[in-house]
Amino acid sequence: QKEVEQNSGPLSVPEGAIASLNCTYSDRGSQSFFWYRQYSGKSPELIMFIYSNGDKEDGRFTAQLNKASQYVSLLIRDSQPSDSATYLCAVMDTDKLIFGTGTRLQVFP
């Protein structure tokens, strides 16, 4: 079974700063990676997915994939208090997603 590791946090950053969230995965053959955001008491919602090495940008969010080192990162620029949530990293395993435990992000004014 593929595994995904995340630091549970909390990661605290001031408003306007860059938040950097990291995730490592166990299977070198993994090819598809997803970042979900989950507010307290709510269900996960997809932020981004990335398939190939390098960076993928979408608005304030950038996903970075390094297959050689087996890690995936999510950068959130100009962090806002509304970004405070748990960020889940997931790896595709055949036709299902394997999730990490999530990193709790706190953005303080």
Partner 1 sequence: DTGVSQNPRHKITKRGQNVTFRCDPISEHNRLYWYRQTLGQGPEFLTYFQNEAQLEKSRLLSDRFSAERPKGSFSTLEIQRTEQGDSAMYLCASSLRGLGDSPLHFGNGTRLTVT
CB 54 within 8 Å of CB 63: no
Q: Least separation, in Å, of the C-beta of 69 and partner 1? A: 21
Distances (CA, A) of 96 to 9, 47, 72, 103: 26, 17, 18, 21
Nearer to partner 1, 19 or 37 (CB): 37
Q: Binding residue for partner 1 (CB under 8 A) from 4, 63, 74, 85?
A: 4
Looking at residue 14, what DSSP letter applies? E
3-class SS of residue 97: strand
Q: Which stretch binds partner 1 (CB under 8 A): 54-62, 63-71, 72-80, 93-101?
A: 93-101
Distance CA 49, CA 90 (A): 9
Contacts of 12 (CB under 8 A, 6+ apart): 106, 107, 108
Contact pattern from residue 25 through residue 64 relative to partner 1, giving x for each residue in contact according to CB under 8 A and a dash for the rest: -------x-x-------xxxxx--x---------------
Count of chain residues binding partner 1 (CB under 8 A): 23
Q: Binding residue for partner 1 (CB under 8 A) from 17, 71, 99, 106?
A: 99
Contact residues toward partner 1 (CB under 8 A) are 4, 6, 8, 32, 34, 42-46, 49, 88, 90, 92, 94-102
